[in-house]
Amino acid sequence: MAIDSLRVDNISKRYHVRQPESDEDRSGWVNKLRRRMGRKGEFWAVRDVSFGVAHGEAIGIIGPNGAGKSTLLKILASITAPTEGEIAIRGKISALLEVGSGFHPELTGRENVFLSGAILGMKRREINEKLERIIDFADVRQFLDVPVKRYSSGMVVRLGFSVAAHLEPDILLLDEVLAVGDVAFQKKCFDRILTLKRHTTVVLISHDLGAVQRLCERVIVMHHGKLIYDGATQGAIATYNDVGRFRSSPKYNEAPGTKKAEIVSLDFFDAEGQPAHVVKTGYPLRLRLEYLVRHKLDACRIAIFFYGVDGNLYCQFTTRLSGRPLDLMPGLGAIEFTCDELSLQPGSYVIDALIEQREGEGEPIDWQYRCSTLQVNSGKDVRGYFYHPHEWGPAPLNGA
């Protein structure tokens, strides 16, 4: 029977969150004292999580944003302590939670290799022995003795990952580190992780389900801080898709059942026409939205917003582009958006859906905030911030 390199038993992590005050809280000396002490509520980021990881096993941890994945990894890395539960670790453990962490902008690349390596747990002798391999992997030899503040962001990422990639711990914790640099460097990083996997226990958090499939034989799915699946990769992806389905957010400005119209479902379909919350860059995407209308509405707009994990709005699907107003009749209705080639680059996106009347005035009827998720994995690989559909062919010479 294999001995677990890592064992987690009923781990929970609680945070205290300051609560908003009511009018009653603002009066009286007792309440003033409470305000000064801080009125706090409880938030459990991780709750009653248990699992074991055998020596040499590669396990993935996936789930929507806010599921508790990164908190769990920080507990395993001893960055934060659990509120409840126990962890048993056999061997040396190292964590790569942020590429380039510990880099000082005024120090040179060479100096930062030693600084970052020391932060990650490497001895100076070990760094000296691996220095040439680290430099070659990062491909920054020409700028090695230049201050890092003069590096491009891509150079910093390459050097940071190169240092971390030459760790040789018994257990390696990785949080979204395979999505660094350009496509060629990502492949280089992935190949390095595959090499480490031969003699190292790997715990990987990633929204790139393609990478999880290639690297992990077993996957855990987390949702609202709890472990909801632990098993084969395909079953984990199916579970992930299920928790990513449409979930109604608090109604905009009105109580349920009193709105003129509301969104009741939102579904994504992949290139094969199958329901999915994991799609690929450059491949077809179809989106179907269903709504309930209680009173006839003239001149409406329906829009879908795609936000990245950084909070930025990356794109929008909207009926406004049709050039004609959308009239909604009482009863159930549905609308579909189709995209022949999805331009979004690989990443995790959260979705807002909106029904709006009198477009010029912008009067929201129903706004479903962060109501679904969409994971975009590598498909048609191009460099840049987005993929743009294009074709090429031979052209005649000028004057020919």
> DSSP letters along 47-86, please?
EEEEEEEETT-EEEEE-STTSSHHHHHHHHTTSS--SEEE
Do residues 160 and 175 share a domain? no
Q: Which helix (H) or strand (E) is 201 found in, with range? A: strand 201-205
What's the pLDDT score for residue 51?
94
What's the pLDDT score for residue 337?
94
* Domain CATH for 44: 3.40.50.300
Pairing of strands 40-54, 278-280: unpaired
| CB 75, CB 87: distance < 8 Å | yes
- Final residue in a domain of this structure, among 121, 137, 167: 167
| CB 203, CB 53: distance < 8 Å | yes
In a structure prediction context, what are the per-residue pLDDT tens digits for the chain, which is 400 residues long?
A: 556 789 999 999 999 877 655 555 555 655 665 555 555 678 899 999 999 998 888 899 988 777 899 899 889 988 899 999 999 988 888 777 766 666 898 999 999 999 988 887 788 999 999 999 999 988 889 999 999 999 887 788 788 888 877 887 888 888 876 666 666 777 788 888 888 888 888 899 887 777 788 888 899 999 989 999 999 988 888 888 777 677 766 544 455 556 889 999 999 998 888 888 888 899 999 999 999 999 898 888 999 999 987 788 999 999 988 777 789 999 999 999 999 999 998 887 889 999 988 654 566 889 998 888 888 887 887 777 788 888 888 888 876 6
Report helix angle 124-138 to 153-165, nearest 10: 130
What's the pLDDT score for residue 320?
86
What's the pLDDT score for residue 331?
93
What's the pLDDT score for residue 253?
46
Region label for 299, one of left (φ > 0), alpha (ψ between -120 and 50) or beta (otherwise): left
Nearby residues of 58 by Cβ (< 8 Å), 6 or more positions away: 197, 201, 202, 204, 215, 216, 217, 218
Do residues 369 and 335 share a domain? yes
Do residues 191 and 266 share a domain? no
User: How many residues are present in the chain?
Assistant: 400
Do residues 235 and 352 share a domain? no
Number of separate domains in the chain: 3
DSSP label at 25?
Answer: G
* Domain CATH for 344: 2.70.50.60
Do residues 274 and 350 share a domain? yes
What's the pLDDT score for residue 17?
76
Do residues 187 and 312 share a domain? no
Span between the terminal Cα atoms of the chain, in Å: 75
- Residue 217 domain flag: yes
